[in-house]
Structure 1
Amino acid sequence: MLPKFPMSRQCPYHPPAGYAALKKEGPLARVRLYDGRTAWAVTGYAETRQLLVDPRLSSDRSRPDFPVLVPRMAAAKLVALVGMDPPEHDVQRRMLIPSFTVKRVNSLRPAIRRIVVERIEALLDGGRREADLVPEFALPVPSTVICELLGVPYGDHEFFEEQTRRMLMATSTADEAAAAGGALNRYFDELIETKLAEPGEGLLDELIVDRLGPGELTRLELASIAMFLLVAGHETTANMIGLSVLTLLEHPEQLARLRADERVAAGAVEELLRFLSVADELQRVAAADIEIGGQVIRAGDAVYLPNAAANRAPEVFPEPDTLDVGRGTRHHLAFGYGIHQCIGQNLARAELEIALYELAVRLPGLRLAEPVEQLGTKPGGSVQGILRLPVVW
């Protein structure tokens, strides 16, 4: 019998134990999805990189043969950027790239640091000595940043965070995910209407003037792009912040290296991205036959590329199961690879570097208040992370 996919983690900062068995089958292995469909799981690093740039693998979620990993995905057939193939994908990506360059993100670093410091000061307010860092730090930092970048009122954050959870949790039904996606689309359509009457500052306002006005985007397309940027801009980074803090607390010698020298932060973030791989299970469908890794992927086959497996490849990352903030590599696949490589990666790096360093320095006595086993791990089929992070200092 084929192993079931997706697989859940037993430890929140290590890949599912079942990935080891898949690797023994070779760089590609057959798995079975929840609906009985057979799929390929690609665990080899070289094969993953090769397939992520192969135009014969489609990301088009409108295709009737596009795979569904968990029930909620049946309601998410169309997603801006990540759910498109060229040329539509390339047109939208070119519109957004100027807002996420290294130069643009570096100009945002003072604002990101201000947001992070404000959140830490709120933790310390009144002499507090304990907190749950998921709702009080990991989630509000990226939510605030992406709201300021887009020009979305932060006062609406509870609404869009709840809808995001309903869309992305593996346990959500297709109807629940569809309802949440519809609510977010309506929200952005109404926000666009408001901004047309009263322009503000932010990426959404720029797109309204530069793209919607000349007719390069429809309102529906713009709302879809805004929803994608908002959801992707806070969900993955929030999970990365929470899980990174936990991982560093579980590896105190690595945390000490970060605390001692801010110059370590950039390398520490790259290593944590590799080590944690929170955006696992990249998905595609074959548009044509592909021979690779001693196997033949047939047209119409579902293909999954769990980068948590590729990022633990010993031939690329010596002692891959060891966290080493001085490893100094950026060859990991945590942001994907090829034309669909995460457009917000520079922003995510900046947020992580600042958040982790400031937290380490300003809360030197930080430690877990409960065992790791009690924190709750998100299931396979969703962005990986923890449900709670109670700490004391």
Structure 2
Amino acid sequence: MEHLINSKVKNIEISGIRKFFNMVAGTKDMISLTLGQPDFPTPEHVKEAGKKAIDENFTTYTHNAGYIELRTAAAQFVQTKYDLSYNPNDEIIITSGASEAIDITFRTILEEGVEVILPGPVYPGYEPIIKLCGARPVYADTRENNFRMTADIINNYITDKTRCIVLPYPSNPTGVSLTKEELSAIAELLKDKEIFVLADEIYSELVFDHKHFSIGTILKEKTIVINGLSKSHSMTGWRIGMLFAPSSITEHILKVHQYNVSCASSVSQMAALEALTAGINDAVEMKQSYMERREYVFERLTTMDLSVVKPDGAFYFFVKLPEPFTNSFDFALQLVRERGVAVVPGSAFSPLGEGYIRISFAYSMDVLTEALNRLEAFLKDHQS
């Protein structure tokens, strides 16, 4: 029966991040720096809110868009943090993680033959959904611009088929963000064009050196802002995302969401309500730890003479392969076999990621220290 499977599904692959992680997961005494998952537990008060929700029988379907109390809290959160203004009644949808928000957005705005511009290298979760919609991903090469997708670069890739531009910032895998000035230039470029912007801002609470700025504040009518609690509140398993857009857009996205999952988990929504209100600043302490780790990892990598752009946010370094290595998958596999350290091959992040590896620093200092000691020993073993 396999020959009857949807050809678009047959032609996509499992995420290169997960594929490599699963391949090496059984390696003895391995240290993994692969997954983008906070090493902090979900805050205690948020967990208690989830338990209370179960005890008080908040275990039924909610409004398709989510509890109005949660949507109101989400509106207040992004207004306070980023000066974004959205009506909780019809401009916000609570989703089953930011991944579902991306999925239902693309399925709402894309159709056969249109194009989506993405920064390259980029998180691998966009391309398969774009292709499932019959659209074509177009990778804008950001490698010579320190991985920053600016208006000048975007303009080189716009055609009459361009339907959407994806702006993920801070970026996975590079950790690079965009400034208010850069985003204003992008908004100016797009203001008279019929092109959507998908602003994936899941790491917005983990911006280190400047305040996060959302393009939704200056290009609201064309922008779908996606956020969530996985990274900011260490709630990856709770699966709560948030989608913000004008009502003329959300009324259609909501239809896809309804037939996809009906609604996000009611218990998780109550935990999310606690996170966005009493826990509005829960990410501050985590961010401080990530900043300390960033400084440590950056110092170690540069001491090893590795070429790397210092990240503005998130918790990743995207590191250029040193000579004589050229293939990122082979490098990563050899590093596991010889020194027991797992990193993600850059090829997992589009063809423009080849020649790099991604290192996550969402791990304790002890783990990072030992992993980097092993990486340094590995590189010394292979010095030409």
TM-score (norm 2): 0.27
Q: Tell me which protein shows more helix as a share of its residues.
A: 1
TM-score (norm 1): 0.27
Q: Tell me which protein shows more strand as a share of its residues.
A: 2
